[in-house]
Amino acid sequence: MKTILDGYHRILTWLMVATVAILIVPVTLQIISRYTHLIPSYIWTEELSRFLFIWMVMLGAMIGIREHTHFEVDVWPDLAPKPTALLRIISDVLVLVFALVFVWWGIEFVRFGWDQLSELAELPMPWIFIAWPLAGVTWVIFLGESLAANFRVLFS
């Protein structure tokens, strides 16, 4: 199970790195095309960079749950392992609620935009909207892993 999750985690990370690496291209094209006539002035460069950006944010937010990099504030004193696990479980369950909202209404969100095309490049919008329910599903998976680990600590 852990191997599968590690693999999924790695794929998401690669995709995120790809979005960061590609992101610079359309913006550069946009600047260059303004000053030379070597390449045509692509009107869709701005839109493409925005869509890559959305995917970068959503992919990073997905892996952030497994890597515990979403910023949180620690106002508690240092607790023993079991109370710490309990607190983690509570916060994981609350985030799980949010993840389920992203799955449930996320599907509606995709359905709502099912046959929309983007304004400039005429890309199908579901390609973008699908990031929301996908994030929800991914969080549910990663939170399940974290919850299992914390329950093990709690009942050990």
Partner 1 sequence: MTSVAFTPGIAALLLFGTFFVLFIMRVPVAFALGLACLPVLIIEPRLSPMTLFNETFKAYNSFILLAVPFFLLTANLMNVGGIMNRLVHLSRTMVGNFPGALAQINVLLSVFFAGISGSSTADAASQSKIFIEAQVKEGYGLSFSIAITAVSAVLAVIIPPSILMIVWGGVISTSIGAMYLAGILPGLLIAAAQMVTVHIYAKIYNYPVYPRATIKEFFVSAWQSIPALFTPFIIVGGILLGWFTATESAAVAVLYAAVLSIFIYREMDMKHLYNAFAETGRLAAVALFCVGTASAFGWMLAYYQIPKALLENVTSWGMGITGAGFFIAFVFLVVGCFLDAIPAIIIVGTILQPLAQSVNMHPIHFAIIGIVSLAFGLVTPPYGLCLMISCAVAKVPLKFALKDTMIMLVPMLLMLAAIIIWPEIPLILPKLIAPELLK
Binding site for partner 1 (CB under 8 A): 13, 16-17, 19-21, 23-24, 27-28, 30-31, 46, 49-51, 53-54, 56-61, 63-64, 67, 69-76, 78, 87-88, 90-91, 94-95, 97-98, 101, 105-106, 108-109, 112, 128-129, 132
C-beta closer to partner 1: residue 1 or 76: 76
CA 125 to chain centroid: 17
Please state the closest distance from residue 150 (CB atom) to partner 1, in A.
12
Please state the closest distance from residue 72 (CB atom) to partner 1, in A.
4
User: What type of residue is 152?
Assistant: R
C-beta closer to partner 1: residue 1 or 39: 39
Please state the closest distance from residue 105 (CB atom) to partner 1, in A.
5
C-beta closer to partner 1: residue 5 or 89: 89
Please state the closest distance from residue 84 (CB atom) to partner 1, in A.
10
Q: Are 137 and 110 in contact (CB under 8 A)?
A: no
Annotate 16-62 with DSSP letters as a single string. HHHHHHHHHHHHHHHHHHHH-SSS---TTHHHHHHHHHHHHHHHHHH
CA 104 to chain centroid: 16
CA 99 to chain centroid: 11
Token duo for residue 153: 């600590």
C-beta closer to partner 1: residue 98 or 152: 98
* b/e sequence 12-28, b meaning 16+ C-beta within 10 Å: bbeebeebeeebeebee
Please state the closest distance from residue 4 (CB atom) to partner 1, in A.
21
User: What type of residue is 127?
Assistant: W
C-beta closer to partner 1: residue 1 or 81: 81
